[in-house]
Structure 1
Amino acid sequence: MTLNTILWFIPACFALNMAFGPNNLLALTNAMRVGIGKALIASLGRIVAFAIMIVITALGLGALLIASEVAFSAIKWAGAAYLVWLGIKLLRSRAPTIGGIDEVLPVRSTQSLARQEFWVAIGNPKAILIFTAFFPQFLDRGDYATSFAVLGAIFLVLELAAIAVYTYIGSHLGRFAGRPSVFAWMNKASGGLMIAFGAMLALARRPA
């Protein structure tokens, strides 16, 4: 796995990590209600869920990629299409509303919030698509296990960075409560980046 491949992967992956989805909304609202420290600790439930999904995906996808060049190409195009589709969806989405969130997310212990982060993440089909359709475009088929582990570790680190951003915003949410345009801008920025990287990945050659 080359440094150039990793440098391509990082910004494309971080655009996915920063996308405003259910887990990021959960981290933001947890920070708003219980503080940034507890929200960060609770978010480890999400990291555990994603780590499990990465391992399962790696074990199941490896045999398929080794056995079939056609499958690799199909997954590559599916991944590019998924990124573009998700980007368009984000560009068209409206800014989220935070009102009434106390009724949806009652105050809970840190352990309970961590379990909630875990189950929201483990049941998110977008995460499964990311690991099965996005990762293979950067894999070194000559060293599949190591390259998948490296990409998985980078993904988890970038996920923690995204969590830090959202919990920071949540802990200062009072300043932004009347400015939903802030969240709309984040959706548009993430959507635009995902569309751009989806197009580039569709044109990129398979990593050697």
Structure 2
Amino acid sequence: MSFQNYWLFLPACFALNMAFGPNNMLSLSNGARDGMRYSVLAAFGRLLAFAAMIAISGLGLGALLLASETLFTLLKFGGAAYLVWLGVKLFRSAPIELAAASGKIELRPETPADKLRRLARQEFLVAAGNPKAILIFTAFFPQFVDRSAYATSFIVLGATFLLLELIAIAIYAAIGARLGTFTNAAGRLRWFNRASGTLMIGFGLLLALLRRPAS
């Protein structure tokens, strides 16, 4: 892969990484609620899903998945349903302050490790349930792949995408953490949860309307 193609790939790729979608919405929301550290660490669940998708696309299986109307529809509606469900949970979730003030005693309080696993699982499922991600890797990457060194160039592009994705994650998590300092009051945090949930439901509905690329 030529350096010229690679330098063209970098800004185009980072624009995709920074695009406001359901996973970046999660980083923003998690950063506001749990802090930047939790948000960034949890997003490694997303990176794992994307790494698997890059491998699938590199082997040519991504195109087969997108060509199958049944598989595409199952993935699309499964992902859309999960986003809507997650959005409803966010919309209805009570601020931490309210939960503490209510005097409710949990049988088993959530440990930091439990919370991190839960958030990472959310990130993984949101990323894995979005066929648009595979579409990016099967339609966008090949434009920059060196046919004479296909495997090597695809690995370089994939590693670059994941690194830029991590940078985007950190940016959204930092913005979310900053927003969290202004939403500490129970009333403001409740409205932030509702806004986040509404956006997540909207992403789910948009995903449900996604059309399979024409073969």
- CA gap of 1:63–1:35, structure 2 versus 1, over 3 A, is closer
| Residues matched between the structures, number | 145
Name 1:14's counterpart in structure 2: 14
Q: In structure 1, what is the Cα distance between the partners aligned to 2:116 and 2:180?
A: 22
Is contact 2:31-2:180 (8 Å) kept? no
Q: In structure 2, what is the Cα distance between the partners aligned to 1:36 and 1:12?
A: 26
Q: In structure 1, what is the Cα distance between the partners aligned to 2:122 and 2:152?
A: 31
What is the Cα-based RMSD across aligned positions, in Å?
2.9
Name 1:46's counterpart in structure 2: 46
**TM-score using structure 2 length:** 0.61
Q: In structure 1, what is the Cα distance between the partners aligned to 2:129 and 2:46?
A: 11
Q: In structure 1, what is the Cα distance between the partners aligned to 2:94 and 2:148?
A: 46
**TM-score using structure 1 length:** 0.63
> Counterpart amino acid of 2:24?
N
Q: Do structure 1's residue 164 and structure 2's residue 170 form an aligned pair?
A: yes
Unaligned runs of 5+ in 1: 65-97, 179-208
Please point out which of 81, 92, 117 is paired with 1:103.
92
Secondary structure (helix, strand or coil) at the match of 1:20 reads: coil
Q: In structure 1, what is the Cα distance between the partners aligned to 2:27 and 2:156?
A: 25
Q: Matched residues, percent identical? A: 60
Is contact 1:62-1:144 (8 Å) kept? no
Is contact 1:23-1:117 (8 Å) kept? yes
Q: Do structure 1's residue 117 and structure 2's residue 123 form an aligned pair?
A: yes
Once the two structures are superposed, the pairs formed by residues 4-153 of structure 1 within 5 Å of their partners are: 4-60=4-60, 101=90, 103=92, 109-153=115-159
Is contact 1:45-1:114 (8 Å) kept? yes
**Larger Rg belongs to:** 2
> Counterpart amino acid of 2:4?
N
Is contact 1:36-1:167 (8 Å) kept? yes
Q: In structure 2, what is the Cα distance between the partners aligned to 1:121 and 1:36?
A: 19
Q: In structure 1, what is the Cα distance between the partners aligned to 2:37 and 2:47?
A: 16
- CA gap of 1:113–1:136, structure 2 versus 1, over 3 A, is same
Misfit runs of 4+, over 2 Å: 61-64, 100-108, 174-178
